[in-house]
Structure 1
Amino acid sequence: MSLNLQEKQNVVAEVSAQVAQSQTIVLAEYRGIKVADITKLRADARNAGVYLHVLKNTLARRAVQGTPFESLAVSMVGPLVYSMSSDAVAAAKVVCDFAKTNNKMVVVAGSMAGSLMSVEQIGVLAATPSRDELIATLMATMNAMTAKFVRTLAAIRDANSAGAEQAVAEIVVAETAAE
C-alpha cells in the first residue's frame, strides 16, 4: 500500500527525529525472514532501546539528508531494516545477534559519529560491552578494592585483640596470593 504525500512527510519527520537522537545506525537486509522472526527482532530491539523500522529507501535517504549519517545513502539499496540507537553499541548488538541465529539477515552497512562502517567494524562494535556493562564492571572493581581494604583492617583489629602479629602476616600473604 502506497503512502500519500502527508503520510510520507510524517514518516520522514519521525525517522529524522530518531536519526537526530542516534549515535549509531545499522542497515541490514531482511529478505526471506519469517514474520515471527521479524516480530522477535522487533521485541528484542524494543527491549534494548533500539528504534527498528522497515522503510522505503527514498524516505530513509530524505531522513538522513543533512545529518552526520548522510554517507549511508549510498548503501540504501534493496529491502532494508533500519536500526538506530542513542546507545553507540545497542543497534549493532541487536542486529548482529539476530543475524547470528538467522542467516537470512545480512548486515549491509552502518554509521557512527559521521563515518561509514564496514560489516567487520559493525561486528566489532556489536562485541563491545554496552555502557551499562562497562559501568557495572567498573563498580565491581571499585567495590572489590574497598572490600579488600575493609577485610585487611578487620584482620589487623582481630590480630591486635588476640595479640598475634603472625596472624596479620598470614592474612596479608593470603590476600596477596589471591590477587
Structure 2
Amino acid sequence: MKDSVLKQKQAVVAEIEDKIKNSKSLVVVDYRGLSVADVTELRSQFRENNVDYKVYKNTLSRRAFENLGYTDILEHLTGPNAIAFSMDDATTSAKVTSKFAETNNKLEIKVGMLGDDVLDVAEISKLAKIPSREVLIGKLVGSLNAPISNFVNVTQQLINTPMRNLIHVAETLAERKSAESAE
C-alpha cells in the first residue's frame, strides 16, 4: 500500500477517534434502502440539530472503535453504516434518528453509545424520549423558582391583609364620625 494512501486512512481513523471521544453520544444506523431525498432530509435534520452525520468505511470505523477499546460495538459495523455524532446534547442523535425511523422504516438503528456505554436499540429509544438539556434546565429552574414565588406571595398577603384591615377600620371609623356629626 502506498504511503500516501496509508496516511489518508490513518487520518480518517484519527478523525473518527476524535469524534468518538468528543461526542456526548452517537448512533450507528444502516441507511440501506433510503432514497436520495430521504438521506438529504435526514442530513438536513441532523444539521439543524448540530449532529455530525457521516458515512465511513467499516474497516476504518472498526479500527477507530478498537483503538479506543470499544470492542462491543464492532459486531454491529457490517453493511452500509453511517454514524451520527451528537456533540452538544447527549439525546439529540437518538432523538433525530428515532423520529426519522418512525416515519421511514428503511432506516435501521443498529447500536449507539452514551459516553463510554454501548446502547442497544431499546436503550437508544429510551434515550430519545428524555427531554433535551434546555427543557430539563427549564424544569429545574421552575422547580427552584416555585418555593421562592410562593414565599413572596405569602409574605405579600401577610403584609397586605393587615393594611387592608387597617384601611377598612379607618373607613368605618370615618363613616361613624360622619354619621355622628350628621345627627
Q: TM-score scaled to structure 2, two decimals?
A: 0.79
Gaps of 5+ in 2: 167-183
Q: Which residue is 1:126 aligned to?
A: 128
Map of 2:70 onto structure 1: 69
Residue 158 of structure 2: aligned partner = 156
Q: Superposed, which structure 2 residues align to 1:100-119 within 5 Å?
A: 100-119=102-121
RMSD over aligned Cα atoms: 2.0
- C-alpha separation between the residues in 2 aligned to 1:140 and 1:104? 40
Once the two structures are superposed, what CA deviation does each residue of 1:140-167 show, in whole Å capped at 9, x if it has no partner? 1222222222222222222121117xxx
Secondary structure of the residue aligned to 2:85 is: strand
Unaligned regions of 5+ residues in structure 1, if any?
A: 165-179
The offset of 1:97, in angstroms, is: 1.3
Following superposition, the deviation at residue 131 of structure 1 comes to 2.1
Q: Which moved more, 1:73-82 or 1:151-160?
A: 151-160
Residues 55, 116 of structure 1: alpha-carbon distance in 2 compared, 3 angstrom cutoff? same
Query: % of aligned pairs identical?
Result: 35
Count of matched residue positions in the alignment of Structure 1 and Structure 2: 162
Distance in 2 between residues matched to 1:115 and 1:68, nearest whole Å: 11
C-alpha contact 1:45 1:94 (8 A) present in aligned 2: yes
TM-score by length of 1: 0.80
Q: Which aligned runs of 4 or more in structure 1 are off by greater than 6 angstroms?
A: none
Between the aligned partners of 1:135 and 1:68, the Cα distance in structure 2 is 33
Structure whose CA Rg is larger: 2
Q: In 2, are the aligned partners of 1:69 and 1:111 still within 8 Å (CA)?
A: no
Are 1:68 and 1:114, in contact at CA under 8 Å, matched by a contact in 2? no
